[in-house]
Every structure is written in C-alpha cells, then in structure tokens.
C-alpha cells in the first residue's frame, strides 16, 4: 500500500534539492507594490501572428494592466522597470499533457518500488524545471495518490514554484489495461488507483476523483506503449462506459481527456464527447471526420518518439511498441492536422526529461508542416481554449495573468528559439531573467 504524503511535508527536503530561493522571497523581491513595466524590444501577438516593436506591458499584481508603445508609457513613481532590450516577448507557453510527478525511468523494479512520497518530491523538482523552461501553465494528466492535487495546491499558495496547473488525479482505466498496474503477479493483487469496470463503477470513479480535487478526468480509451500486456490499437473502455464518464464529468464541470492510440478508440472517445484525444497515433479518416464534427482537440505527443528512439532504454515489452507507434504516428497526425483537426500542444513530459517541452514545437513545424505561428498558437491560444482558460492565459491581453516569456530572436523565423527561454514571469512574479 502506498504512503500518502502532502507535498508541504516534504518542502524542507525539496528546497535542499532545488538549491534555489523560497518562492515567497522571489515574489517579494520581484512583484512591485504598484506597477511593473516590462519593456519589450519586440512583442508577438499570438492572435494575429504580428510582431510589434518597442512595446511595454504594464503589470499590476498578477495581471496585465495594459500594453502600449514604450514611447507613450513613461514610468511613474514607485514603478519597477524591467528592460528586456531586444528580446521578443510572448505569452507563457502551455503544455496540456504532462506528468510532473513522474520521471523517465521505466525499469520495472523502479516502477514497482515507487511511492507517492517519491512522486511528490519529483513533482516539486519537475514543476520548477517546467516553469523555468517557459511553460507557465500545464495540465497534469495522471498521477497516483492524488499527488498532483497536492502539488497544484502547494504551488497555488506559494510553497513551491511551478506553473499554473489543472490536474486529473488517478487515470481511469479497465482492469489489465494501460492505466492498471500490470507488472506484479497475482499474489500481490496490485491494482491501479483509477481502475473501474462497468457503467456504475466508472461513474463512481469520476465522482471520487472530483471529490478529492481533480480539475479534469483522464481516461484510457485504448492500450498504450509504456505498459505491459496491452495493445495500443485495441479499444479498452466501451463506448457506453465512456459516454457515462463524459456525462458525469461534464455535468460536474470537468473536461475529459482520453488517452487513445488506436483508431476505434479515438472514434468512440470523440463520439462519447471527450474534449481531447491524447496521442492519436493510428488516427484514420473516420475518426478525423468525427473529431472535426464534435470539435475534439488532438494533443500530439511527438518529440518523445524522437527522444526515446535516440536515448531511451526500454524493457523489450515496451520497446517494440514504441518502435511500432513511432513508425506511423507523425504521418497520421500530419494528415489529421492538414484535414482540419484542432491541435493543442502536449508533450507527455516524464517519458523524456522535464524541461525539454519546447522541442515539441520544432517537431510540429518539421513533421506536421505547421508554420511557426501555428505551432506557437497550439501552445498558447489553442491550449488555453482546450483548458477553458482563455479568459486567464494563452495570450498577452489586459486582464489576463501576467504570464510572460521572452527569447533572443524571432521565433516566427526559428521556432527552436523557444527551447532556450531567457525570461519567465508567471502571474506577475519573475522566476528567470536576463533583463535589467
């Protein structure tokens, strides 16, 4: 049985690991009592794809107050001015498919000896890494023991630095499926936290996840890659079970994300009304048509394939599935994108090291044929729309969170610049800066 630990209990250990300042101190030093003026050499409007020169973003508290030409925005008494020189400023990026409480170690012994306490410590470290990489908002789609709920709450009250989070808690899946625990023999009776079979059981699990703090529901509609004994192309939950899940989740104000590689599972999940398909490796024309009709987002997770094939060390029962999926996913997802399916950026960070999230944008440009602005929109306005947070983040607009990043150069000319973010502000607090 796993030990349940609140993130706050582990803070003294984690601060030693991080070797950084306490976020309360960072906030006190960097958030001005009145206003903060961010002087941008260039500012990317992600709505239009246009870049404006010499702009100033006025920040008050955790919100953007106004944006105007620098020449017409003189400082007032008490203002703090951050001069970013010639850097290009844009909204903080959003990753709608992360696992902050996990790491890329798929040794079966490591997996079966994991604990919620270890996951909590990993979450604190990985949340900071992700924020410093320029991702100021994430969806965490799967964590045992509701550890991601604790992590979100610790970030929200300022105990640890990290991005804004929506969290799912335990993943819902069938017995023996991708979201179950399948590495131990029967005498251990190990079962995944979110395993539920049948309509009544899945309804109960949705309600239980919400009871303990989930912002969204994550389900496994098909088999997966990094799991033993299942087939990524095989459907797992039935259409009726998924309809029951979505009905309860939506009635209770939560969106649903469906892990789905196989075409049948993608089709059923979209027909059931899920809000996003995660991965989508074997998507076909029938599933594409239904997703377009229903407005279902596709969340590709493509850079992990490149990283895993080059650096990954997987057990044989994972490795062949990774090769099979990687051989077809990019072609199929490019077809879906070119056919008009909506795309929101997700990485599955934890399958590869956290902090490399920005590489996903490069893959979208290189492999899916996106223009750089389209890739950036998948990680800003589109991702915010999927999360239901368009009124809070995803673009630089007055009234939204002051989630601001900057890069040295023009990301519309070279999207790889977003792999090396120079400045990070989240909700009015500066966490990384090369400015004056």
Give the mean model confidence (pLDDT) for residues 4-30: 44
Terminal C-alpha separation, the chain:
51
- Does 26 fall in a domain? no
CB 328 within 8 A of CB 281: yes
For residue 434, the model assigns a pLDDT of 77
Helices marked H in 31-164:
108-112, 116-132, 147-156
Half-sphere exposure of 356 (CA within 13 A, CB side): 18
**289 with 405, same domain?**
no
Does residue 38 lie within any of the structural domains?
Answer: yes
pLDDT exceeds cutoff 80 at 287: yes
Rounded to whole angstroms, how far apart are CA atoms 357 and 351? 11
Residues 84 and 97 in one domain: no
DSSP-assigned letters across all residues of 143-185 = -GGGHHHHHHHHHHTTSS---EEEE--SPBB-TTSTTS--SS-
CATH number of the domain where residue 159 is located: 3.20.20.140
242-255 burial: b if 16+ Cβ within 10 Å, else e: bbbbbbbbeeeebb
Q: State the total domains in the chain.
A: 2
pLDDT attached to residue 31:
46
User: What are 90-127's pLDDT values in tens digits?
Assistant: 999 999 999 999 999 888 888 888 899 999 999 999 99
Q: Give residue 435's pLDDT band: very low, low, confident or very high (50, 70, 90).
A: low
352 and 420 co-located in one domain: no
* Confidence at residue 62, expressed as pLDDT on a 0 to 100 scale: 97
Q: What is the pLDDT of residues 300-344, one digit of tens each?
A: 999 999 999 889 888 888 888 899 999 999 999 999 999 999 999
- 13-17, 66-70, 285-289, 400-404 — which is least confidently predicted? 13-17
Q: What is the mean pLDDT of the chain?
A: 92
* CA distances, 388 to each of 96, 166, 216, 373 (Å): 12, 10, 11, 21
Q: Are residues 213 and 135 in the same domain?
A: yes
The answer on pLDDT for 215 being more than 70 is yes
For 148, residues 6+ apart whose C-beta sits below 8 A from its C-beta are: 100, 101, 123, 140, 142, 165, 167, 168, 169
Considering the domain boundaries, does residue 20 fall inside one?
Answer: no
Judge if 411 and 383 occupy the same domain.
no
**Interval 47-67 mean pLDDT:** 98
CB 259 within 8 A of CB 218: yes
Question: Does 173 score more than 50 pLDDT?
Answer: yes
- The answer to whether residue 18 is domain-embedded is no
CATH label of the domain that carries residue 73: 2.30.40.10
The reply to whether 328 falls in a domain is: yes
Q: What percent of the chain has pLDDT over 70?
A: 92
185, part of any domain: yes
Which is nearest to 303 in space by CA: 359, 344, 346? 359
Task: Assess whether 82 and 128 both reside in one domain.
Answer: no
Listed residues 369, 387, 405: the one ending a domain = 387
For the cut 50, the answer to whether the pLDDT of residue 260 exceeds it is: yes
**Sign of the four-CA dihedral 343, 349, 351, 356:** positive
For residues 102 and 84, state if they share a domain.
no
In this structure, the answer to whether residues 75 and 105 fall within a common structural domain is no
128-132, 151-155, 174-178: segment of lowest average pLDDT: 174-178
| Confidence at residue 146, expressed as pLDDT on a 0 to 100 scale | 97
The answer on pLDDT for 29 being more than 50 is no
Q: Do 75 and 97 belong together in one domain? A: no
Helix (H) or strand (E) holding 335: helix 316-338
Q: Which of 14-18, 148-152, 162-166 has the lowest mean pLDDT?
A: 14-18
Do 97 and 109 belong to one domain? yes
Do 378 and 244 lie in a common domain? Answer: yes
DSSP calls for 277-305: EEE-TT--HHHHHHHHHHT-EEE---HHH
What is the mean predicted confidence (pLDDT) over 205-218?
98
What stretch of H or E contains 96? strand 93-98
Containing domain of residue 329, as a range?
93-387
In a domain, 196, yes or no: yes
Q: Contact, 260 vs 211, CB < 8 A?
A: no
pLDDT per residue over 355-376, tens digit each? 999 999 999 999 999 999 999 9
Does residue 1 form part of some domain? no
Cα–Cα distance between 41 and 57 in angstroms, integer?
11
Contact 254, 216 (CB under 8 A): yes
- Domain check: are 280 and 400 in the same one? no
């Amino acid at each position: 049985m796993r030990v349940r630990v609140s993130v706050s209990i582990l803070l003294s250990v984690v601060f030693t690991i991080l070797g950084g300042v306490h976020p309360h101190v960072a906030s006190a030093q960097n958030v001005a009592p009145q206003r903060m003026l961010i002087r941008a050499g260039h500012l990317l409007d992600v709505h239009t794809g246009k870049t404006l020169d010499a702009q100033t973003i006025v920040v008050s508290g955790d919100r953007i107050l106004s944006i105007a030409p620098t020449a017409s925005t003189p400082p007032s008494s008490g203002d703090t001015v951050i001069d970013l020189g010639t850097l290009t400023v844009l909204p903080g990026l959003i990753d709608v498919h992360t696992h902050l409480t996990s790491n890329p170690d798929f040794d079966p012994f490591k997996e079966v000896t994991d604990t919620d306490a270890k996951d909590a410590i990993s979450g604190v470290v990985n949340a900071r890494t992700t924020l410093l990489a320029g991702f100021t908002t994430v969806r965490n789609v799967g964590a045992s023991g509701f550890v991601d709920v604790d992590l979100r709450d610790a970030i929200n009250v300022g105990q640890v630095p990290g991005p804004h989070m929506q969290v799912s808690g335990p993943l819902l899946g069938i017995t023996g499926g991708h979201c179950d625990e399948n590495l131990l023999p029967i005498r251990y009776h190990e079962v995944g936290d979110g395993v539920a079979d049948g309509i009544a059981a899945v309804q109960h699990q949705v309600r239980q996840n919400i009871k303990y703090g989930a912002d969204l529901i994550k389900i496994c509609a098909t088999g997966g890659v990094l799991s033993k004994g299942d087939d990524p192309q095989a459907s797992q939950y039935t259409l009726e079970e998924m309809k029951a899940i979505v009905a309860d989740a939506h009635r209770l104000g939560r969106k649903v994300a469906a892990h789905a590689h196989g075409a049948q599972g993608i089709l059923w999940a979209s027909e059931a009304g899920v809000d996003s398909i995660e991965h989508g490796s074997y998507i076909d024309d029938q599933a594409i048509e239904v997703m377009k009709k229903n407005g279902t987002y596709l969340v590709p997770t493509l850079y992990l394939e490149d990283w895993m094939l080059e650096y990954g060390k997987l057990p044989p029962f994972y490795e062949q599935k990774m090769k099979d999926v990687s051989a077809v996913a990019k072609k199929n997802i490019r077809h879906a994108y070119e056919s008009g399916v909506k795309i929101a950026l997700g990485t599955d960070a934890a399958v590869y090291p956290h902090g490399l999230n920005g590489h996903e944008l490069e893959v979208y440009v290189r492999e899916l044929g996106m223009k750089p602005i389209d890739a950036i929109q998948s990680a800003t306005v589109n991702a915010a729309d999927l999360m239901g947070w368009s009124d809070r983040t995803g673009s630089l607009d007055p009234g939204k969170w002051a989630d601001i990043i900057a890069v040295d150069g023009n990301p519309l000319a070279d999207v790889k610049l977003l792999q090396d973010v120079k400045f990070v502000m989240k909700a009015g607090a500066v966490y990384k800066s090369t400015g004056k």
